[in-house]
């Protein structure tokens, strides 16, 4: 089973819960990120069910308008700030140090700090429901004057504090990733041998470092306006309401790439493994990722076409331009699959779901880039459909692809394939049933963020279908949780490398030891494990490279033998693990 | 003497651990790269505030507003405070140069002076605030007051952060924990302090030197 022949882990003086609460191990912190994010995914999902229940038929059945506003605001806030962004950071936290052959992140304690701000922020944000005025209700965009103290209560202040905390956590995390990726790569791991996931984490981190502080400044200005009589966003006394939109979207447009790039990285790790081919066009992919990051800063005002305060031709042009690097990626993914030897395991299914749904989300997004069309569909359900095809069909499918792909590495056990496929099929149908009719709703003029609509508006059928779809999505989560539960207890043993992966995380045990690697294979390409598995001539591992002695020192310090067998035996070991 | 010897041993010990963990320690060190990236994010934070300032200022009919136009000129302490802060950047750098030569006394002396200058700047800013407040320029007195206090206030908060970091450097310097080979924190703190200084020079130019618009002047 264990082909890397580990001696038992170093004895730890912290056990159980205390260890998890105080850990600075990037793998445990990564898992904490995932668990915390899934909790808020569940809560945000329940809020969404509340929204859909209210909209199923015309009339106000369950909630009043005020509570409805809180529901969709907190749904979006949980999903964006406490689920999508952190869970992708969580994957990166777990995988990036392993994939670059590092023992941990560059700043392990700051890493723990970044994580622990998140549950704190989540609790602060959710506390809004307990205050007199209720939780934040101005939409996740918190446009002024809706978010000013005249129209919203303490929940809004708690929301601001929480988002500032989450932003701080993101910035510290991003700095940590950048230093880790720039400084902690194993010998031989040059920048153009980095796995694509690491590249996407790098570009995401650059976006976070440059964009998130601007959101923090916007939130602080809003806080001053609300609590200390400031005049940043109040036109009546010389402020500017559109200023909020500019500063907010200057962050929040790059943020949509923060919410998808690592997802693209996950898919780019999975497609080559399950089609038994290298990724098509590695460098094109890297430059496309960097291009999305750079162009991401020049398109924020396409959220503000109808304000009349932005230069439409420029932002429309840039928005079309940013579709090009995304198209390059789509081409590369499809070319990777083309004539590959596909293994239709659950990770690949979710990755294929990502490809198809993200494509739809890209296409319906391109409509909104056309200024006259956007004037017609702005703030309608078309936009809701678009964001959910991109974020649910895109990011969430990528998240589940990643969970099914790396769960064996994280726990040492496989997830159940049958339950996984059931989850995929139900979720795929539910997603399309929920969000496809919303295109039609948007085109026929249904505005977003309304609690009620006229029964004669012609929106009844689509809304009912949409609500049924949302229930299907909720149902599809149940086999997933059941799957995790039973697999943790009795899933089949994964071994080091159940998928015949390409990247370094599969070169160590499952789960990896706290220090990650006893020894590393030679790194001559972006697929070091593929090289090790299929090497024709036996090249002794770890006898070349400036760092060979360093690893020997670590092994010696940890009291285990460090004389590395040649890579031929490593490859044989790999084969043996697959023979089981 | 024994204290500093022990401190040296400790620092060498952690340094060795660090080297093994980091693998190949070439080029810029992890903490300094981290600080540079952190400063980058701080630049973007202030960029957001400055953007808001220009936006509000451009929309105002007169800047500063007629009733507040003379208020900013009465500050007796802003000029000296600016000189002190710029000076402190130099003393901070002298400290860095000292520890690069392994001159611990020089480090402690220079950082001590920097620390005092930083605290003095904060005290002068507090007095300025009190004077302005008495004169009726408040956080809620129109966009002028809001932007003035927000920008200078957040700068002041960063000065305070820098002073705290300088305090830690001073304490550790006095305990003999830095040497010419092991002083990342001194370098990082000095970078942060220079950044705080540069922001103030921009702010000072913006708030006190840039001519007003409209009827204010």
* pLDDT (0 to 100) of residue A543: 44
How far apart, in whole angstroms, are the C-alpha atoms of residue A18 and residue A118? Answer: 19
How far apart, in whole angstroms, are the C-alpha atoms of residue B158 and residue B42? Answer: 10
Q: Is B213 helix (H, G, I), strand (E, B) or coil?
A: strand
Q: What is the mean pLDDT of chain A?
A: 89
Alpha carbon of B196: minimum distance to chain A alpha carbons (Å): 16
How far apart, in whole angstroms, are the C-alpha atoms of residue A364 and residue A387? Answer: 9
Select from 3.30.365.10, 1.10.540.10, 2.40.128.20, 1.20.210.10 the CATH code of A272-497.
1.20.210.10
Q: Which residue has the tokens 């990011």?
A: A395
Angstrom distances, CA of residue A148 to CA of A145, A167, A355: 5, 21, 40
How far apart, in whole angstroms, are the C-alpha atoms of residue A127 and residue A124? Answer: 5
**Contact between residue A87 and residue A4 where contact means Cβ atoms under 8 Å apart:** no
How far apart, in whole angstroms, are the C-alpha atoms of residue A309 and residue A142? Answer: 18
* pLDDT (0 to 100) of residue A572: 39
Which residues 182-221 in chain A show a CB within 8 A of chain B? Answer: 182-184, 186-187, 209-218, 220-221
**Contact between residue A357 and residue A342 where contact means Cβ atoms under 8 Å apart:** no
* pLDDT (0 to 100) of residue B60: 85
* pLDDT (0 to 100) of residue A334: 96
Which stretches in chain A have pLDDT values below 50? 1-3, 5, 537-538, 542-580
The beta strands (E) that lie in A107-220 are given as none
* pLDDT (0 to 100) of residue B215: 56
What's the distance, CA B149 to chain centroid? 17
Nearest-Cα residue of chain B relative to residue A251: B48
Residue extents of the structural domains in chain A: 23-259, 272-497, 504-579
Nearest-Cα residue of chain B relative to residue A545: B24
* pLDDT (0 to 100) of residue A579: 36
Q: What is the mean pLDDT of each run of 10 residues along chain B (217 residues)?
A: 38 35 64 96 96 91 77 74 96 96 96 97 93 86 90 96 97 95 95 97 90 65
* pLDDT (0 to 100) of residue A570: 41
Chain B interface mutation, best of A231, A300, A523, A546, highest count of B Cβ atoms under 10 Å:
A231
How far apart, in whole angstroms, are the C-alpha atoms of residue B214 and residue A144? Answer: 27
A241 — contact with chain B (CB < 8 Å)? no
φ and ψ of A338, to 5 deg: -60, 120
Q: Which CATH class is domain A23-259?
A: mainly alpha
Q: Which pLDDT tens digit goes with each residue over A174-217?
A: 999 999 999 999 999 999 999 999 999 999 999 999 999 999 99
Nearest-Cα residue of chain A relative to residue B24: A547
How far apart, in whole angstroms, are the C-alpha atoms of residue B185 and residue B168? Answer: 9
How far apart, in whole angstroms, are the C-alpha atoms of residue A151 and residue A153? Answer: 7
Q: Which residue has the tokens 């922020």?
A: A121
* pLDDT (0 to 100) of residue A10: 56
Which residues of chain B neighbour A246 with C-beta distances below 8 Å? 51, 55
**Contact between residue B71 and residue B136 where contact means Cβ atoms under 8 Å apart:** yes
User: Are residues B52 and A550, on separate chains, in Cβ contact within 8 Å?
Assistant: no
Q: Which pLDDT tens digit goes with each residue over A371-395?
A: 999 999 999 999 999 999 999 999 9
* pLDDT (0 to 100) of residue A284: 96
Give the tokens for residue A198: 């690491």
Give the tokens for residue A292: 């999305």
Give the tokens for residue A188: 């031989």
Which residues of chain A neighbour B24 with C-beta distances below 8 Å? 187, 546-547, 550
Chain A interface mutation, best of B44, B55, B66, highest count of A Cβ atoms under 10 Å:
B44
User: Are residues A230 and B42, on separate chains, in Cβ contact within 8 Å?
Assistant: no
How far apart, in whole angstroms, are the C-alpha atoms of residue B194 and residue B86? Answer: 9
**Contact between residue B208 and residue B37 where contact means Cβ atoms under 8 Å apart:** no
Using the CB atoms, write b or e for B48-72: b if 16+ within 10 Å.
Answer: bbbbbbebbbeebebbbbeebbebb
- For helices A261-275 and A282-295, the axis angle rounded to 10 degrees is 170
Select from 1.20.120.80, 1.10.3470.10, 3.30.70.930, 2.60.40.1120 the CATH code of B29-216.
1.20.120.80
Angstrom distances, CA of residue A93 to CA of A40, A111, A223, A358, B20: 18, 9, 31, 24, 21
Nearest-Cα residue of chain A relative to residue B51: A247
Residue extents of the structural domains in chain B: 29-216
Give the tokens for residue A138: 């101005």
- Partnered with residue A413 across adjacent β-strands are A493
Q: If you ran DSSP here, which 8-state letter would residue B214 be given? A: G
- The answer to whether the A23-259 and A272-497 domains have the same CATH topology is yes
């Amino acid at each position: 089973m264990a082909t890397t022949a580990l001696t038992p882990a170093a004895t730890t003086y912290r056990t159980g819960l205390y260890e998890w609460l105080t850990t600075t191990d990037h793998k445990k912190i990564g898992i904490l990120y995932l668990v915390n994010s899934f909790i808020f995914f569940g809560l945000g999902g329940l809020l969404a069910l509340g929204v859909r229940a209210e909209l199923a038929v015309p009339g106000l059945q369950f909630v009043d308008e005020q509570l409805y506003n809180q529901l969709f605001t907190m749904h979006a806030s949980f999903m964006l700030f406490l689920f999508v962004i952190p869970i992708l950071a969580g994957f990166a936290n777990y995988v990036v140090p392993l994939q670059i052959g590092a023992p941990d992140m560059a700043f392990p304690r700051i890493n723990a700090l970044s994580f622990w701000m998140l549950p704190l922020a989540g609790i602060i944000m959710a506390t809004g429901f307990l205050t007199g005025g209720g939780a934040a209700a101005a939409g996740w965009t918190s446009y002024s004057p809706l978010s000013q103290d005249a129209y919203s209560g303490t929940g809004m202040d708690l929301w601001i504090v929480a988002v500032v905390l989450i932003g701080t956590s993101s910035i510290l995390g991003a700095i940590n990733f950048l230093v880790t990726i720039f400084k902690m790569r194993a010998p031989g791991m040059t920048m153009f041998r980095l796995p694509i996931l690491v590249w996407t984490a790098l570009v995401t981190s650059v976006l976070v470092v440059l964009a998130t502080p601007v959101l923090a400044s916007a939130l602080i200005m809003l806080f001053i306006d609300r609590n200390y009589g400031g005049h940043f966003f109040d036109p009546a006394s010389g402020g500017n309401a559109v200023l909020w939109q500019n500063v907010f979207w200057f962050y929040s447009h790059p943020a949509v790439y923060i919410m998808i790039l690592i997802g693209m990285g996950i898919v780019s790790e999975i497609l080559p493994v399950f089609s038994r081919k290298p990724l098509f066009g590695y460098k094109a992919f890297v430059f496309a990722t960097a291009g999305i990051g750079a162009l991401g800063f020049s398109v924020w005002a396409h959220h503000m076409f109808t304000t009349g305060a932005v230069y439409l031709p420029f932002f429309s042009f840039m928005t079309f331009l940013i579709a090009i690097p995304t198209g390059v990626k789509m081409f590369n993914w499809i070319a990777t699959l083309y004539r590959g030897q596909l293994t239709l395991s659950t990770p690949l299914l979710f990755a294929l779901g990502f490809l198809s749904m993200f494509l739809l989300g890209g296409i319906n997004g391109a409509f909104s880039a056309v200024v006259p069309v956007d004037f017609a569909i702005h703030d309608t359900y078309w936009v809701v459909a678009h964001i959910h095809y991109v974020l649910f069909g895109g990011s969430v499918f990528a998240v589940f692809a990643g969970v099914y792909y790396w769960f064996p590495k994280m726990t040492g056990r496989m997830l159940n394939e049958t339950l996984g496929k059931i989850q995929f099929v139900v979720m795929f149908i539910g997603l399309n049933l929920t969000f496809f009719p919303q295109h039609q709703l948007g085109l026929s003029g249904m505005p977003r963020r309304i609690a009620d609509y006229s029964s004669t508006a012609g929106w009844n059928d689509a809304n009912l279908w949409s609500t049924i779809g949302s229930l299907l999505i909720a149902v599809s989560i149940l086999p997933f949780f059941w799957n995790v539960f039973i697999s943790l207890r009795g899933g089949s043993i994964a071994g080091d490398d159940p998928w015949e992966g390409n990247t370094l995380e599969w070169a160590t045990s499952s789960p990896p030891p706290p220090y990650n690697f006893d020894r590393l294979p030679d790194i001559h390409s972006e697929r070091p494990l593929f090289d090790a598995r299929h090497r024709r001539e036996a090249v002794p591992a770890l006898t070349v490279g400036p760092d060979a002695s360093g690893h020997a020192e670590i092994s010696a310090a940890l009291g285990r033998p460090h004389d590395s067998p040649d890579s031929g035996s490593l490859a044989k070991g790999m084969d043996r693990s697959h023979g089981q | 003497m024994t204290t500093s010897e022990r401190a040296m041993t400790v620092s060498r010990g952690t340094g060795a651990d660090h080297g093994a963990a980091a693998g190949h320690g070439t080029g810029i060190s992890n903490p300094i790269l981290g600080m540079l990236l952190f400063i980058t994010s701080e630049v973007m934070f202030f960029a957001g505030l400055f953007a808001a300032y220009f936006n509000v200022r451009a929309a105002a009919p007169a800047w500063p507003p007629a009733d507040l136009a003379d208020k900013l000129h009465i500050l007796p302490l802003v000029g000296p405070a600016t000189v002190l802060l710029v000076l402190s950047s130099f003393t901070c750098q002298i400290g860095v140069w000292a520890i690069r030569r392994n001159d611990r006394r020089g480090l402690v002396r220079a950082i001590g002076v920097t620390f005092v200058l930083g605290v003095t700047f904060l005290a002068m800013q507090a007095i300025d605030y009190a004077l302005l407040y008495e004169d009726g320029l408040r956080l809620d007195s129109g966009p002028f007051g809001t932007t003035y206090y927000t920008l200078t206030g957040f700068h002041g908060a960063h000065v305070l952060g820098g002073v705290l970091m300088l305090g830690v450097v001073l304490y550790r310097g006095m305990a003999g924990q830095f040497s010419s080979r092991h002083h990342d924190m001194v370098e990082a703190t000095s970078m942060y302090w220079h950044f705080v200084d540069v922001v103030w020079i921009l702010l000072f130019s913006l708030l006190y030197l840039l001519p007003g618009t409209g009827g204010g002047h």
